[in-house]
Structure 1
């Protein structure tokens, strides 16, 4: 039984002579059909920058352009949300990558673009791609010779897709090669072979993920020899370097690049012989291209060299790169991970752009509002006012509860002072409940208005956060140009607690008098109706009723008085805390004339895109 070769070899491996079906070029707006010929050639397809179009439902000619958008229903919400991202942060979102993501959502099986970029020249990159896609069970195929022929022009890009090798299509500029590789077919992958500049002499050079994921392809524009640089977005990238210089250049590029969350989309393949324990990891693989090429050639010479091929291939490290390519395949019914990573990157970029705009707007606001020094002085004055107000609350209420009138409302004096309860409690609230603190709030509000800070609640609500909004809204509406929490709390006490206390006093007095009267009548009736009952015996009934009524009145009235005192104190503390929070909010956030941008349309669009992406998963 022959030894196991490598994971890319499939039993159903197609042959170069098989008839090819229609395929679609995602890099341009036309649909083409491969042609089986006796000789193998190349297809050149014009690259229309930043434009991809899905295959239509019926074949069209090569000159027709597809305008329809056939988005699967489950991806439609994400497609619409992503389509609005471009207007959210135009400068931060790469338009070509956005178009690539949108075209990927227009199909259940999107084509995944992988760029293999050589450092400075594409020679090593083309050799690596040839080894990755070559079929060791076949003799050397013509597409391999075609790919190697581009070494004469190391700066020219080549596009490789799955399919049978076809005749060249005239008047198209980007060379395209169709390769019957299972890796391309199973992963629905197309590979762009090009270069990336490693000449990073300036240590101040700034690189981003677009440096790797939106490579520049140089194509000739006419027969005069002029060239045009076109940006070609991809989902993932393999950077191929040679030797120690290539390793240093690759590390320099990656270390200085702001990759953010796209580090997993970039893979390094360095042609450098190292020990087996250091061959590869999830970010880089060390390969020996010459060794892998020699092993492939040995096996093609004779199948008896399978063991030599196995040792040479595994020792070359190319299998790690091939495994990385094969891992790009998406699970059935799930969004392709490469496409998901691209969409997430676009959403993050848009969110970063919105955050930058918000930060800039905030700085503009700060420059146009009250100075920090004035705010600090006002904030300090609010703190001092709060300390004085709490001291006043404690002292003035204690003084009010110690007055002769309040002490005159003892339980046993209720019988002749019951009608004075409302008057006395109202007088305490009117005269002893934070009068000075209320006047100082009005004076403080005048200072705020003078400094240009609005203190009216409806104005502060435009800049306050939700917690402060709830605190400010917990009060009746007022047209006064100062905080009215103290006045509102006093009115609340006068309107709710004072009538309740008055009503309780009246009920207690009425109960005591009625209970005493009933028990006295019962005592007299008993004395008259029972001849043997003495005055002392019948008088006991009246005494018990009187004691019960008075004890009940004492217990409930003393409890009500204590509860009312505590309620007044607590209401005062609450009013002071709310007033202080209101004033501090005015100091820190008042005077900003523009509306809050936390709920801007950009934020809503980004949230919709994130939610739609989660729903698709």
Structure 2
């Protein structure tokens, strides 16, 4: 016996019980009062405000108070991991005596097809075609706003909303199961399916985004309990598969995929609770139209209706919506789904943190690597100091400051000596120290030592320590200074050398020139005086005195100036070595202090505590749900 023949008695019983519905408006008038009463009851449980609005604390039923309080605590303890809009929908459901169940019908890139499907699911085949059906069938090109289908008379004027168009329809399905159906679109492009990394695919389907008609036009989340996704053709199925590829295993309980495909030749019996089902809107529309023409076409209607695949969608739509104590099964499943999402996000966060910790090198390996880089840097820096200064002090510029050129090069001393320090004195070492500091900073080492840094820069030269003709050596000592980041030690030492050692060298050269001219002038004057006053002195003998003075002054200038130049060279070399040594010791001291601190400090990750509190809050909600008889697997 064919399936449609076996189901004929059920259809006959339906026709017998509701044949009076085919009569004119007399019976409708008789049932008007009952419908208005039911309409008021449904409206009282409906939520017309924005799903993200924060409402005042309602009068919560006593049986749901414990679970309501636990869910409220979850919003604070796990605010990072919970979807607030879904949580608010669950709280509003627990706060009402008979809360409305929200179901979304989302068309893949087309709202028109979703409206046609919603019309077939809610239409009454025993009644004539109503205005709301024609409105859904002939609605625009898919660019209109979402439509919210609510139970009510067609003449009712529901409160308008900027998020969707509200349509009141006298559907028995909506009235008997206290349903609201949102018809919208799910923007999934077949050629290029992408989804935000912040939002999971499950949230994208169960929390549709509605475009507000405000000035800003920002999308507003509208959470639902169940979602029916409708696509046309195999390409739509592939697009939805790409969208839900990250957690498709979580979707079958609350999400169903319907694909408009050619109807089979014979009836099929798909599982009502399967993840997807093939349907054919054309066959279903034709079946309803045939039955509305005449009750005699009931067998043809039933055959076409089952061939269309729509009965499985109708069964899925009303599944778990029957009123039970203490709450509807769909609400239990919804709360359990929120808890599963929170735990999944916490577990993912734990996994990511463990992977980061596993990828990071150990403290010992990091320290050893830094020490190796430090030793390499020190070796190269000392080599650079030696080679660069050797090249600088044998170059032509430094040769320009020879003692016998001092008479006309005395004004170039500051320029030439400063240029040597700026271009030859640990230039590459300074750059390499910045790279090394970056490695240390990345590894968690500080840049300086508070109250422990012994600055290697030269002390300020005073008149007592300045080089003189009798004491040309530049003795520079260290002093305890304000903490300075170690990568800046070389630059600070160079600045000190330029500011405090170059001017004394310039002053010494000028003083030697002045002394030479003075000595030569006095000896020349003495020579002339002897020639004039002593008649026995010839010109040759008197000139010998002047030449002796000139020779003495030049020799003295040569000795003192060359000694000062050699002393300045040795000072520059020594200060370079001392700066490098002090910098290396400072870095080693930073590493040692960091190791000592790590041994005595237990690092507490704040996110670990937050995830622990979130798990505890989830456990309390599960315990409350279990006491109410909820499925908390």
TM-score band w.r.t. shorter chain: 0.5 to 0.7
Structure 1 residues 290 and 369, CA gap change in structure 2 (3 angstroms): closer
Is the CA contact 1:88–1:350 (under 8 Å) kept in the aligned structure 2? no
CA RMSD of aligned residues (A): 3.9
1:27–1:48: 8 Å Cα contact kept in structure 2?
no
Q: 2:113 aligns with which of 115, 120, 124?
A: 124
Which deviates more, 202-211 or 117-126?
202-211
Deviation at residue 245 of structure 1 after TM alignment = 2.3
Of the three residues 280, 302, 325, the one matched with 2:270 is 280
State how far apart, in whole Å, the 2-side matches of 1:599 and 1:221 are.
Answer: 37
Partners of 1:277 and 1:322 in 2: how far apart?
Answer: 16
Aligned pairs for 1:442-461 (under 5 A) are none
Cross-structure match for 1:70: 59
Q: Report the Cα offset of residue 109 of structure 1.
A: 2.3
* CA 1:177–1:92: 2 relative to 1, 3 Å: same
Q: Higher helix fraction: Structure 1 or Structure 2?
A: 2
Count the aligned residue pairs.
Answer: 373
Q: Is the 8 A contact 1:162 1:181 kept in 2?
A: yes
Give the Cα separation in 2 of the matches to 1:277 and 1:352: 40
Partner of 2:343: 351
After TM superposition, the structure 1 = structure 2 runs for residues 33-52 of structure 1, keeping only pairs within 5 Å, are 48-51=50-53
Specify the structure having the higher radius of gyration (Cα).
Answer: 2
Q: CA deviation at 1:124?
A: 1.4
- Within 5 Å, which residues of 2 pair with 1:47-446? 48-51=50-53, 67-169=56-158, 172-173=161-162, 174-199=164-189, 201-202=191-192, 205=195, 207-221=200-214, 227-254=217-244, 256-259=245-248, 261-275=250-264, 276=266, 280-281=270-271, 282-330=274-322, 332-355=324-347, 371=363
Deviation readout 1:167-222 (Å, 9 max, x if unpaired): 33576442112222232223221100000012154466464211100112234337
Superposition deviation, residue 69 in structure 1: 1.0
Question: Is residue 45–residue 100 contact of structure 2 (8 Å, CA) maintained in 1?
Answer: no
Q: Distance in 2 between matches of 1:27 and 1:154?
A: 30
Q: Structure 2 CA distance, aligned partners of 1:290 and 1:597?
A: 56
CA distance in structure 1 between the aligned counterparts of 2:44 and 2:212, rounded to whole angstroms: 18
Question: For 1:71 and 1:124, how far apart are their aligned partners in 2?
Answer: 39
Distance in 1 between the 2:231 and 2:51 partners? 27
**Are 1:594 and 2:604 an aligned pair?**
yes
Gaps of 5+ in 2: 1-6, 22-26, 368-598
Matched with 1:607 is 619
* CA positional deviation for 1:345: 2.3
**Which residue in 2 is equivalent to 1:562?**
none
* Deviation digits for residues 247-282 of structure 1 (CA, Å, limit 9, x no counterpart): 32233323x242453431110111111535767341
Distance of 2:231 and 2:611 partners within structure 1: 47
- Once the two structures are superposed, residues 367-403 of structure 1 have per-residue CA deviations (whole angstroms, 9 ceiling, x without a partner) of 999737699xxxxxxxxxxxxxxxxxxxxxxxxxxxx
- Local SS of the residue matching 1:113: strand
CA contact (8 A) 1:49 1:96 kept: yes
Q: Answer yes or no: is the 8 Å Cα contact 2:78–2:613 preserved in 1.
A: no
Give me the whole-angstrom Cα distance separating, in 2, the residues matched to 1:305 and 1:610.
Answer: 51
Matching of residues 520-599 of structure 1 within 5 Å: 592-594=602-604, 597=609
CA contact (8 A) 1:116 1:194 kept: yes
Is contact 2:42–2:151 with CA below 8 Å preserved after alignment?
no
Q: Deviation of residue 292 (structure 1)?
A: 0.9
How much does 1:334 deviate? 4.2
Once residues 166 and 318 of structure 1 are traced to their aligned partners in structure 2, the CA distance between those partners, rounded to angstroms, is 28
Structure 2 distance, partners of 1:251, 1:368, is: 36
Give the distance between the partners of 1:215 and 1:372, measured in 2 at CA.
Answer: 50
Say if 1:290 and 1:171 are closer, same or farther in 2 by CA, change over 3 A.
Answer: closer
Shift of 1:616: 0.8
- Distance in 1 (CA, whole Å) between partners of 2:221 and 2:13 is 33
Q: CA deviation at 1:615?
A: 0.7
Deviation at 1:355, TM superposition (A): 4.4
Q: Classify the secondary structure of the residue corresponding to 2:259.
A: strand
Alpha-carbon displacement from aligned partner over 1:331-361 (angstroms, at most 9, x marks no partner): 5214323222221222233334444566677
CA distance in 2, matches of 1:147, 1:325: 19
Residues 493-512 of structure 1 mapped to structure 2, 5 A cutoff: none
Q: Distance in 1 between matches of 2:243 and 2:195?
A: 10
Corresponding residue number in structure 1 for 2:444: none
What SS is found at the alignment partner of 2:95? coil
Deviation at 1:298, TM superposition (A): 1.1
Could you state the TM-score of these two structures normalised by the residue count of structure 1?
A: 0.53
Change (3 A) 1:590 1:280: farther
Question: Quick one: structure 1 residues 49 and 335, their matched pair in 2 at CA, closer, same or farther if it must change by over 3 Å?
Answer: closer
Counterparts of 1:10 and 1:265, CA distance in 2: 35
The whole-number CA distance in structure 2 between the counterparts of 1:92 and 1:210 is 12
Task: Report if aligned partners of 1:214, 1:231 keep a CA contact under 8 Å in 2.
Answer: yes
Distance 1:149 1:106 in 2: 38
- Gap change, CA 1:350 and 1:87, over 3 Å in 2: farther
The answer to whether the 8 Å contact 2:206/2:226 transfers is yes
CA shift for structure 1 position 600:
4.1
Aligned counterparts of 1:367 and 1:288: Cα–Cα separation in 2: 52
What per-residue deviation string (whole Å, max 9, x for no partner) do you get for residues 296-349 of structure 1? 111111111111111111111111101111213235214323222221222233
Aligned residues of 2:42 and 2:175 also touching (Cα < 8 A): no
Q: Would the aligned equivalents of 1:117 and 1:237 in 2 still touch at CA under 8 Å?
A: yes
Kindly provide the CA deviation profile for residues 130-168 of structure 1, in whole angstroms up to 9, marking residues without a partner as x: 111111111111121222242344442100122222333
Distance 2:219 2:141 in 1: 19
**Partners of 1:29 and 1:52 within 8 A in 2:** no
Counterpart-to-counterpart distance in 2, 1:364 and 1:135:
58
Counterpart of 1:5 in structure 2 is 11
